[in-house]
Structure 1
Amino acid sequence: MNPRLLLALTPLLFTSMAVAVDCDNASNQATMNQCAAQQNAAADKELNALYQQITSRFKGNPDNKKLLVGAQRAWVAFRDAECKFSASGVEGGSVYPLIYSNCVTELTKARVQTFKNYLKCQEGDMSCPVPGG
């Protein structure tokens, strides 16, 4: 990349990061897309924190931890494929990032709830794969 172009663009990068986005009053597609991406990032952060809590409970059981890792990888592949399909009607359009991000966020929130349920397992519950903490 041309160093002069990079220097010319640098103020724009810092300016756009400093501007707070009012997601409650988003009035254009770019802002709505940015807000959807922020919501997605927040849901993903929560999912990752719960995933770490669950994996820590499998310290003495590497076989179950391996099953969880495989299940999570399969779930991520499903989520991404499902949302790509779900948003395919608007592929290439300016609304695509919004539709795709909303889909990913909703499926991630559902997985978050599943993980929360796993973490609430009662001792002796044979239907729960995660040992109590």
Structure 2
Amino acid sequence: MKITKNVFIFTATLILVVFSGCSTPEQTRATSPDSINGRMSSAIATEQFSPIASSPITTLNHTTPKIAQNPLKEDEKLNCEEPQTQLEMNLCATKEAGEADAKLNRVYGQLRDKVKDTAQETRLIAAQTAWISFREADCEYSQRRYDGGSIMPAIYALCVIDLTEKRTQTLEDYLEEG
């Protein structure tokens, strides 16, 4: 019984260490998503629509999604069906976040075209700008619960996916309303 209890405590401690990131403050600063993961460029920044749907913000007070860049070599394949490492999980979540963002940008562009040159266009731009600020702040909060851990980029990306899909649905509903 005592051995089973010790094995359980050891296993639980090991899991806690692995999932907490187990890093020093110096490592946290050196490996924070801001320093190694770069910034995610939204599809809208390169599309024909106004860069409001989801634009990168470069000031220190407003950071863009803390999502991993792909460090894999060209001949290495990303296995998003069954990711085996935290890096793969981060990259797959990043890829999915980019896809969700691209869809949002398409729907936003359609809605913007629909209300072009009206007071609603100005309201839409203001609403989308506020929503982007909210998404970034909310996802920053969400990932910082795991400060210093290697799971941070995945947590941020999953938050981006969730909020972006919900916002896309809202914009699609606006499009259907007429």
Q: Same fold (TM over 0.5)?
A: yes
State the SS of the aligned residue for 2:145.
helix
The residue aligned with 2:161 is: 105
The residue aligned with 2:124 is: 68
The residue aligned with 1:117 is: 173
For residues 51-62 of structure 1, the aligned pairs below 5 Å read 51-61=108-118
> Does 2:96 match 1:47?
no
Provide the C-alpha distance between the structure 2 equivalents of 1:64 and 1:97, rounded to a whole number of angstroms.
35
Provide the C-alpha distance between the structure 1 equivalents of 2:160 and 2:132, rounded to a whole number of angstroms.
10
- Return the TM-score normalized by structure 2: 0.58
- Deviations for 1:74-100, whole angstroms, at most 9, x for unmatched residues? 000001100111111112211000011
The residue aligned with 1:128 is: none
> Does 2:135 match 1:82?
no
- Aligned partner letter, 2:105: N
Aligned residues: 109
The residue aligned with 1:23 is: 80
Q: Per-residue deviation at 1:18?
A: 3.9
The 3 A distance-change label for structure 1 pair 60 and 35 is: same
Provide the C-alpha distance between the structure 2 equivalents of 1:107 and 1:38, rounded to a whole number of angstroms.
15
Provide the C-alpha distance between the structure 2 equivalents of 1:14 and 1:113, rounded to a whole number of angstroms.
32
- Deviations for 1:61-118, whole angstroms, at most 9, x for unmatched residues? 1x21111001001000001100111111112211000011100110000001111111
Provide the C-alpha distance between the structure 2 equivalents of 1:25 and 1:50, rounded to a whole number of angstroms.
30
- Aligned partner letter, 1:95: I
What percent identity do the matched residue pairs reach? 36
Provide the C-alpha distance between the structure 1 equivalents of 2:125 and 2:148, rounded to a whole number of angstroms.
33
> Does 2:35 match 1:35?
no
